[in-house]
């Protein structure tokens, strides 16, 4: 039994943090589903930018859609939805067999909308309607403006992957937005079973403090933060508020570990996957991390619901001047900015492939064609 099967049997979902047309056309994604127990997929602007830049799989489609008159953003979302709808169909049997718990794919709203709650909500609704698939999450960042959009999207019945979460405080704020949306649906007589996941980014913590901590604390901060969030997750699920919603038919907002590829070349390439093994969670990992874990990963221990030694480890970082919530705010802002830059690069790359000679295209939201 390989390591991916052991994680699957433990109750953790393994998702692929990648999306390319090559994965679909070569049958590679089907093989990962069959042989490596991959049960879902996430994408983001950086992933699509890399896929379009490093190959010609999208060139003919870009030219054809440009000839049809599609502007840059609408053109991109048609490309992305073609890929993700095909991927969603591959995962559909898993989605149905799990009762809608697993088998999801994710598509992100334009990063330029990070501070625009109304625009984010409109984009989320349009993309979800356009896909016409029950197993497509719309990714919305857990920023201040994003929280309002998350609540409204859940109330509207749009499944949401809350992205760019970095701390227990940010996680709980996103969870509260989800709960408010569900409570409003119940009050309005609507079905409360709207799916959501909350994505905590892990490895970026260790990159941020790499040069500020002694060797014994190297690559320990992200895992400690994740352990604290896991404790908060269990405390929320044990609360009377959640139990009341669950009794009414609400679904758990599952906790997802994101950014789990190892950034330190001196650390094991399976570091975060092995450390974050936990039932009823999701780990979305880059393709090279998935293959490394399948080849030589191990499953030794699972996370403790009480957070284990997270508080003690985080106290050590605090004594070194690492303020968790302050750094979490910085990481969230930097993450949003990075996705924005990737989005700008993606739009410019599409423009170049359309033989458009301008430096780029506007970042405002334009819905895909119906």
| Residues annotated as part of the active site | 139
Give the helix ranges, DSSP H, for 191-239.
Answer: 203-209, 221-237
Cα–Cα dist 152/147, whole Å: 9
- The rounded distance, in Å, linking the Cα atoms of 36 and 52 is 26
> What does the alpha-carbon distance between residue 155 and residue 149 come to, in Å, rounded to a whole number?
10
Residues 171, 200 contacting (CB under 8 angstroms):
yes
Token pair recorded at residue 26: 């070569």
Cα–Cα distance for residue pair 46/325, rounded to 1 Å: 26
Could you give the count of Cα atoms lying within 13 Å of 362 in the half-sphere of its Cβ?
Answer: 5
Instruction: Find out whether 158 and 124 touch, Cβ atoms under 8 Å.
Output: yes
Burial class (CB in 10 A: 0-12, 13-18, 19+), 305: middle
Give the Å distances, CA to CA, from 369 to 52, 124, 126.
21, 15, 10
């Amino acid at each position: 039994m390989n390591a991916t099967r052991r994680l699957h049997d433990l109750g953790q979902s393994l998702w692929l943090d990648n999306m390319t047309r090559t994965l679909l056309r070569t049958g590679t994604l089907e093989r990962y589903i069959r042989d490596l127990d991959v049960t879902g997929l996430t994408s983001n602007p950086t992933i699509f930018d890399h896929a379009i830049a490093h190959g010609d799989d999208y060139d003919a489609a870009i030219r054809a859609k440009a000839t049809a008159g599609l502007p840059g953003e609408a053109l991109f979302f048609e490309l992305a939805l073609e890929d993700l709808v095909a991927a969603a169909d591959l995962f559909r049997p898993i989605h149905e067999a799990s009762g809608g718990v697993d088998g999801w794919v994710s598509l992100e709203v334009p990063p330029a909308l990070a501070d625009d709650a109304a625009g984010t909500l409109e984009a989320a609704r349009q993309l979800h309607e356009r896909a016409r698939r029950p197993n497509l999450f719309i990714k919305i960042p857990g920023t201040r403006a994003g929280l309002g959009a998350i609540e409204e999207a859940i109330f509207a019945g749009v499944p949401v992957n809350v992205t760019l979460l970095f701390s227990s405080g940010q996680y709980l704020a996103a969870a509260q937005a989800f709960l408010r949306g569900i409570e409003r649906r119940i009050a309005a007589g609507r079905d409360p079973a709207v799916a959501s996941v909350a994505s905590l980014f892990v490895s970026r913590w260790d990159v941020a403090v790499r040069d500020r901590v002694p060797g014994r604390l190297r690559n320990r901060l992200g895992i400690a933060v994740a352990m604290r969030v896991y404790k908060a997750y269990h405390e929320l699920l044990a609360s009377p508020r959640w139990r009341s919603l669950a009794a009414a038919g609400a679904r758990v907002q599952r906790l997802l570990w994101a950014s789990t590829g190892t950034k330190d070349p001196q650390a094991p390439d399976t570091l975060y996957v092995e450390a974050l093994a936990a039932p009823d969670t999701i780990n979305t990992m880059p393709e090279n991390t998935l293959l490394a874990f399948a080849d030589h990963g191990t499953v030794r221990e699972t996370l403790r619901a009480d957070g284990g030694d997270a508080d003690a480890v985080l106290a050590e970082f605090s004594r070194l001047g690492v303020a968790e919530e302050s750094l979490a705010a910085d990481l969230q802002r930097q993450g949003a900015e990075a996705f924005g830059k990737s989005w700008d690069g993606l739009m410019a790359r599409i423009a170049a492939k359309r033989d458009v000679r301008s430096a780029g295209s506007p970042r405002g939201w334009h819905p895909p064609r119906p």
